[in-house]
Amino acid sequence: MDWSQVDAAIGKKGGVMDTVHKYGLPRSDLHVTLDGVTVKPGLALGGWIAFEPVGHNEMMMGDLVLTETEVTPVMRSLLANGVAVTGVHNHLLRTIPATYYMHIFGRGDPAKLAGIVRDALAETKTPFEASPAPAGESPKLSFDTAQVDEALGLAGKNNGGIYQFSVPRAEHIKAGGMAVAPAMGTAIGINFQPTGDGKAAISGDFVAEGKEVEPLLKALQTNGIEVTALHNHMLDDEPRLFFVHFWANDDAIKLAHGLRAGLDTLHLAARS
């Protein structure tokens, strides 16, 4: 595949993770606040589309971040051009302005699919210009990342001032009978945004089977982490998966221990 054609269709260059080509569509145009915290795109406003090879075609999945007035025109455009909508919902509560998330699926020529998404997002103010290259290293974080890593039993990454974790499940996940890589949105995502004095706002989503949902919700609530959404992202996934979104703003180490309690309820790939 000549990925420069896809780059041109979507209007920016993508990144490569194993066999997956992924394009970030962060809503850096929006100023969103929640409980007095300004939500950075990397915390909870990071839209994307990704492509994975399936035979002679590509499978596309994505998550588009939209405002209330953008949901209907974007959906209308996608459906009219052969891209499926597999979920529309909130990820957070109390955001000002309200934000919604549209999960999408397509299969075929990636340049054509990318063009359909780009045309649909013309109904929004999603920025497509190339982001400026970061100057030097990512901003220093105001909490102890080593202790957060130790509490979670994982190694995080400072991505532009957001401390991020990606945790794959142990199973081989399929959608429509096709294998779905973790980079296509089936990995657990955990994000920490520093809020000062060793505190952090956390958001992301746990990926759980039905039998795991109740223990997961209880573990999060017991540890002071608010559950903000529970829903599907796909329609025909195997095993059937549910996505649990969360929010808190508290001591980062304390929250890491609470998140670890949530992870311990799930069937994950090997970790320390």
Q: What three-state secondary structure class fits 80?
A: helix
C-alpha separations of 110 from 4, 6, 207 in Å? 11, 6, 26
Contact (CB, 8 A) for 218 and 258: no
Look at residue 64 in the predicted model and tell me its pLDDT.
98
Contact (CB, 8 A) for 53 and 108: no
Decide if pLDDT at 148 tops 80.
Answer: yes
Look at residue 270 in the predicted model and tell me its pLDDT.
73
pLDDT digits (tens, 9 = 90+) for 80-91: 999 999 999 999
pLDDT digits (tens, 9 = 90+) for 164-182: 999 999 999 999 889 999 9
Decide: residue 270, CB within 10 A, 0-12 exposed, 13-18 middle, 19+ buried: exposed
What gap in Å lies between CA 266 and CA 188, rounded to an integer? 10
H or E stretch covering 195: strand 188-196
Q: What is the mean pLDDT of residues 200-229?
A: 98
CA 232 to chain centre: 13
Which residues does 154 contact at the CB level (< 8 Å), separation at least 6?
165, 167, 271, 272
* Domains in the chain: boundaries: 3-121, 145-263
- State the SS3 of 169-186: ECCCCEECCEECCHHHCC
Q: Is 11 left (phi over 0), alpha (psi -120 to 50) or beta?
A: left
Look at residue 55 in the predicted model and tell me its pLDDT.
76
Look at residue 56 in the predicted model and tell me its pLDDT.
75
Adjacent-strand bridge partners of 190 = 165, 204
Adjacent-strand bridge partners of 238 = 174
Question: pLDDT higher for 239 or 55?
Answer: 239
**Backbone φ and ψ of 86, nearest 5°:** -110, 0
C-alpha count within 13 angstroms, C-beta hemisphere, residue 228: 20
H or E stretch covering 200: strand 199-209
Question: Quick one: DSSP state of residue 138?
Answer: P
Decide if pLDDT at 133 tops 90.
Answer: no
Neighbours of 257 (CB within 10 A): 15
Decide if pLDDT at 272 tops 80.
Answer: no
pLDDT digits (tens, 9 = 90+) for 80-126: 999 999 999 999 999 999 999 999 999 999 999 999 999 999 999 99
What is the pTM assigned to this prediction?
Answer: 0.95
What gap in Å lies between CA 7 and CA 102, rounded to an integer? 21
Decide if pLDDT at 77 tops 90.
Answer: yes
